[in-house]
Structures are given as structure tokens and as C-alpha cells.
Amino acid sequence: MQAGDAGFFAGLREAAGEAWRAYVEHPFVRGLGDGSLPEAAFRHYLVQDYLFLIQFARAYGLAAYKADSLAEIREASAGLKALVEVEMDLHRAYCAEWGLDEAVLEAVEADGATLAYTSYVLERGLAGDLLDLRVALAPCVVGYGEIGARLAADPATRTDGNPYAPWIAMYAGSEYQALVRAEVDALEALAARRGGQARLGALAGTFRAATRLETAFWQAGLDAAGA
């Protein structure tokens, strides 16, 4: 989803303004593109992202509780199942390629950026309704798709000899891009059912805050590497 697209999500993205640009164009992201990102920063990110995915799964469990219909419960259940039974295994396998085995992943504690972001997402879901929760999650799901597509299309992105090329290919790939479109479509439908346009001001605040917390997640990787 890019600027100029119509719809509820486009309104959230536009309202986020500079916060969104700082997220999708962060130095961490640029380092992924040209291969200059310190490997220590990427390893830190991978471990913290594993811990985030666990909380992400909890958020889908909360989404089922917040659902008003069987269809919404099924949607949340499918997301939880995919995370726990598929994505977590894929992430562990990818981490292993970077020398981070399961023992390492289980031993590391969440850092401040991870705790801040995951706590915020779950708090919005507990305090609000299903739309509040999905809006808080959207910068992660949709943002990674935009970042992957941007990097893949950028002539400055290095593919040969870039250790992060597989990461870029994963998020730029057709499978993840289809997931992003499905997420945006689901968010649009949910917003239509739950008065999203009438609540756009408050929800835009949630989206903007979650976007800033995503940006802090990138920055934590750089800080951990002393970059």
C-alpha cells in the first residue's frame, strides 16, 4: 500500500506522516538494502523478533476473545495457528543459519524496545476492541511488506554478496505480499463494520504510536551493535 491509495489503511498511513517514513526508511532498513548493516545488529534483531512473534501469537489469541462473530474467531484462530505451527518454525530455522540455535533464542530476554512494543499492542487490544488491536498490529504486518517491496525495487539494493538478500526476497516475495493484501483487506472490512472512519483520529494515534515503536525496534538493533 502506497501513498495515494484509497481506503481506511491509506488514511492511517497518511496520518502517520513522518513517523511512517522514519520507519520504512530507517538506517537499519537502508543497511539491509546495501548490505552495510552490522551482522551483530541483525542477530540482535532476529532474536528479539523471535520474542516478538511469541507475543504476536498472544495478540491473535486476544483477537479471538475480542471477536464478535464466528468468522472473526476463525480468522484469529487461523492467524494463531499459522504463527505457532509455521512461522515460528521458519524463523527458528532462519536464525539457525545465523548461528542462533533454539537454546540461544530461549535464553535471551526481551529488551526495552521489544517490551515496549509488545506491551503497547496487547494493551490496545485489552483496552479497546478488535479494531484497536488490529490497527496496533498493522505497522508490523503491512510495513514489512512495504519495506521488502521498496528494497527489491530500489536500484541501490545490492543482491550479489548481500547477506540480507534472502530477508529482502522473503518480504518482497509474492507469498508475503499476498499476506499483506489480505491483511489490508481484512482491516478495511473490520473498519467498515466497527465505524473505523468515524474513529479515524483516535485509531491514527494508535497506528502512529505503534509505528514509532517499530522504528525503535530497528534502532535497538543498531544500538546493540554500537552502530
Cα–Cα distance between 167 and 71 in angstroms, integer?
Answer: 33
Identify which of 135, 144, 143 has the alpha carbon closest to the alpha carbon of residue 66.
135
- Cα 214 → chain centroid: 7
Cα–Cα distance between 226 and 124 in angstroms, integer?
Answer: 32
C-alpha cell at 122: 496487547
Q: Which CATH number does 8-224 carry?
A: 1.20.910.10
Task: Say which residues have a Cβ less than 8 Å from residue 150's Cβ, sequence separation at least 6.
Answer: 24
pLDDT value, residue 136: 96
- The average confidence (pLDDT) of the chain is 92
- Does the structure show a pLDDT above 50 at 38? yes
Neighbours of 161 (CB within 10 A): 7
Domain boundaries, the chain: 8-224
SS3 per residue for the chain: CCCCCCCHHHHHHHHHCHHHHHHHCCHHHHHHHHCCCCHHHHHHHHHHHHHHHHHHHHHHHHHHHHCCCHHHHHHHHHHHHHHHHHHHHHHHHHHHHCCCCHHHHHHCCCCHHHHHHHHHHHHHHHHCCHHHHHHHHHHHHHHHHHHHHHHHHCCCCCCCCCCCHHHHHHHHCHHHHHHHHHHHHHHHHHHHHCCCCCCHHHHHHHHHHHHHHHHHHHHHHHHHCCC
- Does the structure show a pLDDT above 90 at 33? yes
Q: Which residues are catalytic?
A: 140, 214
- Does the structure show a pLDDT above 70 at 132? yes
Q: pLDDT tens digits, residue range 194-212? A: 999 999 999 999 999 999 9
Quote the pTM value: 0.91
Whole-angstrom Cα Rg for the chain: 17
Q: pLDDT tens digits, residue range 148-183? A: 999 999 999 999 999 999 999 999 999 899 989 989
Task: Say which residues have a Cβ less than 8 Å from residue 143's Cβ, sequence separation at least 6.
Answer: 20, 23, 24, 211, 214
- Does the structure show a pLDDT above 70 at 5? no
Q: Which amino acid is at 16?
A: A
